[in-house]
């Protein structure tokens, strides 16, 4: 029993799998650019996907939240 009451639910608001997926797609695009004719297009697309993935991993981290009887706590 906590000072907030009984714990009803604990979870995460978001996971980091989307950021990792964007980074992997970006790296695969950058590597795949060596094997096609229009290299610059795929390099730019891969760079954008990698930057989106880094943004999601670094700035949009998952927050753990808990719902008690008397309050909701974000940690």
- Specify the DSSP class assigned to residue 2: B
Top pLDDT among 41 and 64 is at: 41
Residue 2, domain member (yes or no)? no
Q: Does residue 18 lie in a domain region?
A: yes
What are the structure tokens assigned to 41, written together? Answer: 């297009």
**Domain of residue 13, residue span:** 7-74
Count up the domains in the chain and report the number. 1
In a domain, 1, yes or no: no
Task: Return the pLDDT at 48.
Answer: 92
Q: Is residue 43 part of a domain?
A: yes
52 lies in a domain? yes
Q: Quick check: is 24 in a domain?
A: yes
> Is residue 1 over pLDDT 70?
no
pTM of the model: 0.62
């Amino acid at each position: 029993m906590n000072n907030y009451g009984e714990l009803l639910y604990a979870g995460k608001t978001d996971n980091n799998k989307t950021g990792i997926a964007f980074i992997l797609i970006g790296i695969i695009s950058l590597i795949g650019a060596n094997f096609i004719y229009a290299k610059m297009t795929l390099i730019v697309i891969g760079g954008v996907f990698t930057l989106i993935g880094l943004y999601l991993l670094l700035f949009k981290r998952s927050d753990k939240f808990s719902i008690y009887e008397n309050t909701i706590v974000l940690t």
